[in-house]
Amino acid sequence: MSEDKVLKGYISNIKYVWHANGDNPCELCEDLDGTEFKSADEIPDKPHPNCNCYIEEVAIKDDEDGDGGDEPCDCYDTVLEWLAECEEACNEYEESSDEGDNALEELQSIGSQIQSYAAEKIAELQELQDEINQLKDDTLDKLQDAIEQIIKTIQIFWYNLSELKRLKIELHHYLDLSAEYYHTKANCEAAQLGDVGAEVAEMLGYLREYLDFIKEFIFYGYTLQKTFEDMIHDLEVNEAGRKLGKEHPNEPPEVIIKKPDGMPPGF
């Protein structure tokens, strides 16, 4: 085969024609007979061993390809179309670039708004968190103070009860009005601690009177009227002590509560 002559635009001036050779070619060779190929790369392999087919190289005439023989192809219009398409594409790119810039500015503006909104909400959440923390601290402080008042109130009642017993042992007899004194004093000291102390003192007073009511009525044989009168009297004494403690929160109970006559020193 001779070399292809390639014109401008990569157009070859040679075509290849398949010819079946022999008196009785096979069907495959007969089907390929007369087939034209534009380049050598398009020519298929021979369909079977000992194939006698051959390829003919035929020069393309000027009127067959319409390219004027050796004259270069007329691509001016095509080039102009390409240039126009390129210019249009550039214009579209510039327009899309401007639109992209506008969209970017809009996105940046939205982003700034979102950032400002987020910062505002974060500040509000931080303020709320601070309020919650403060409320928690205040609640814990109040709870701790309440617990301390409860514990101190119980200690006050226990101490005054112990003092009443010690006074009886010291004198070898019960001193008149000594029980009222220590009941008043215990309730006064509890009320001076605060509202919780006063409430705990009231609760302890009711509990004590309930137990005394059962003890006096069942075990001591007091009448129901006598037992009830003693309970009312003790509750009034307790209330008077709490009232003194609220009215004089910073004065010692020994100063604002009169001691019974005959109480020895040290009590």
Which of the two residues, 62 and 167, has the higher pLDDT score?
167
Which pTM value belongs to this model? 0.53
Give one DSSP letter per residue of 162-199, joined into a string. HHHHHHHHHHTSPPTTHHHHHHHHHHHHHHHH-HHHHH
Residue with tokens 């309440």: 146
Instruction: Give the domain ranges of the chain.
Output: 6-65, 137-256
Tokens read off for 84: 């126009």
Closest CA to 203 of 217, 220, 215, 191: 191
Residue 197 has pLDDT above 90, yes or no: yes
Burial class of residue 125 in the structure, from the number of CB atoms within 10 Å of its CB (0-12 exposed, 13-18 middle, 19+ buried): exposed
Residue with tokens 């126009």: 84
> Which residues are within 8 A (CB) of 118 and not within 5 positions of it... i.e. 6 or more apart?
none
Which of the two residues, 221 and 151, has the higher pLDDT score?
151
Look at residue 55 and give its three-state secondary structure. Answer: strand
Residue 10 has pLDDT above 50, yes or no: no
Report the CATH fold assignment for 137-256: Topoisomerase I; Chain A, domain 4 (1.10.132)
Round to whole Å and give the CA distance between 263 and 167.
8
Residue 69 has pLDDT above 50, yes or no: no
Residue 55 has pLDDT above 50, yes or no: yes
Strand 11-12 with 6-7, pairing = antiparallel
Computed over every residue of the chain, the mean pLDDT equals: 84
Return the percentage of the chain with pLDDT > 90, whole number. 40
Strand 36-37 with 11-12, pairing = unpaired
25 confidence band (pLDDT: 50, 70, 90): confident
Angle 84-88-93 (CA atoms, 0-180°, nearest 5)? 145
Round to whole Å and give the CA distance between 19 and 34.
6
Q: Are 29 and 47 in contact (CB under 8 A)?
A: yes
Average pLDDT over residues 125-140: 89
Q: Are 217 and 192 in contact (CB under 8 A)?
A: no
Round to whole Å and give the CA distance between 50 and 77.
50
pLDDT for res 159: 95
5 confidence band (pLDDT: 50, 70, 90): very low
156 confidence band (pLDDT: 50, 70, 90): very high
Closest CA to 75 of 7, 161, 151: 7
Average pLDDT over residues 24-44: 86
74 confidence band (pLDDT: 50, 70, 90): low
76 confidence band (pLDDT: 50, 70, 90): low
pLDDT for res 12: 60
Residue with tokens 């226990």: 158
pLDDT for res 42: 87
Round to whole Å and give the CA distance between 160 and 180.
11
Residue with tokens 């509000």: 124
Average pLDDT over residues 53-59: 89
User: What DSSP designation does 50 have?
Assistant: T
Give one DSSP letter per residue of 59-119, joined into a string. EPPHHHH-S-TTSPP--HHHHHHHHHHHHHHHHHHHHHHHHHHHHHHHHHHHHHHHHHHHH
Average pLDDT over residues 193-212: 92
